[in-house]
Amino acid sequence: GQNIDQPTEMTATEGAIVQINCTYQTSGFNGLFWYQQHAGEAPTFLSYNVLDGLEEKGRFSSFLSRSKGYSYLLLKELQMKDSASYLCAVRDSNYQLIWGAGTKLIIKP
Amino acid sequence: GAVVSQHPSWVICKSGTSVKIECRSLDFQATTMFWYRQFPKQSLMLMATSNEGSKATYEQGVEKDKFLINHASLTLSTLTVTSAHPEDSSFYICSARVRPEVPEQYFGPGTRLTVT
C-alpha cells in the first residue's frame, strides 16, 4: 500500500528553527510537495522537490532523499503566523497526490 | 496568477436536500480538477478526479451517485451533494491542475457545508 508518515504535532519557539520530517512509501515517485494549511483555510503551496537535495526559498527549505523515501521541511526564524498544519504529499506514478495526515506546528512566544 | 475560486464559501442546508458547489479556475485553463473532503483535524481526503469533458474518477468508498461531479469546461467543475445528511457536513476543497507535467495543484478556498 501507499503510506506517508509525518509527526502529528510539534511545538517550537518563536525565532527558532524547526524541522518537520516526512517518510513515504508509494507506487512510483513523481515529486514531493509541502503545503501549509491554516485552520479553516485551504492549503497553500510551499515547495516541490523531484530531485535529491535541498531547495531553499526564503525562511523555508525542503530536502529530499529519494533512496531513503524521506523529506523534511525546515522553517527558520519562526514567526507566530507559522502556526499551521504542514502537509506532505507525494505524486505517484499515476500523477496522483498521496497526502500525509499533516503536522500541526504550534509556535510559542 | 493561478487563482481558483469556490462558491459558496459556506452553506447550511437541511437533511435530504441537495447542494451544489462550484469550482472555477479564474486565470488559467484546468484540464484536471480534484475534489477533496476534510473533516476537522484530519488531512485531505481525495474524493474524485475530473477531467474536462469526461466522467469523474471516484476514489474507493466515495458514492458517485451521491457526489455528482461535472467538469463541463476547462474553467468550471461542480460538485453536487445529493440528499445530504448530517454526516456529509465537512470542508470541501477543490484544486486544479493545468496538465500532469506541471506539478503544482492550485487550491480553492474551500466550502464549509453544514447539514442540519
Q: Residue B46 and residue A41: Cβ atoms within 8 Å?
A: no
Please provide the average confidence, as pLDDT, over all residues in chain A. Answer: 94
In this complex, is the C-beta atom of A94 within 8 Å of any C-beta atom belonging to chain B? Answer: no
Spell out which residues of chain B touch residue A44, defining contact as CB-CB under 8 Å. Answer: 107
Give residue B1's pLDDT: 63
Question: Region B38-54: what's the mean pLDDT?
Answer: 86
Question: Which residue in B43, B93, B103 is closest to A100 by CB distance?
Answer: B43
Long-range contacts of B23-28 (CB under 8 A, 24+ apart): B23/B76, B23/B77, B23/B78, B23/B79, B23/B94, B23/B96, B23/B108, B24/B75, B24/B76, B25/B74, B25/B75, B25/B76, B25/B96, B25/B106, B26/B75, B27/B1, B27/B2, B27/B3, B28/B1, B28/B2, B28/B96, B28/B98, B28/B106
In this complex, is the C-beta atom of B105 within 8 Å of any C-beta atom belonging to chain A? Answer: yes
Going by pLDDT thresholds of 50, 70 and 90, the confidence category of residue B41 is: confident
Longest dimension (CA), chain A: 43
Give residue A85's pLDDT: 95
Spell out which residues of chain B touch residue A33, defining contact as CB-CB under 8 Å. Answer: 103-104
Write out the three cell numbers for A31.
515529486
Spell out which residues of chain B touch residue A97, defining contact as CB-CB under 8 Å. Answer: 34, 46, 105
Q: Residue B46 and residue A102: Cβ atoms within 8 Å?
A: no
Interface of B with A in 6-35 (CB under 8 A): 34
Separation CA B69–CA B92 (nearest Å) = 13
Q: Residue with C-alpha cell 479556475? A: B25
A75-102 confidence digits (pLDDT tens):
999 999 999 999 999 998 877 788 999 9
Spell out which residues of chain A touch residue B107, defining contact as CB-CB under 8 Å. Answer: 42-44
Q: Residue B49 and residue A50: Cβ atoms within 8 Å?
A: no
DSSP code at position A53: E
- Residue predicted with more confidence, B63 or B100: B63
Give residue B98's pLDDT: 78
Residue of B nearest to A103 (CA): B43
Separation CA B113–CA B94 (nearest Å) = 14
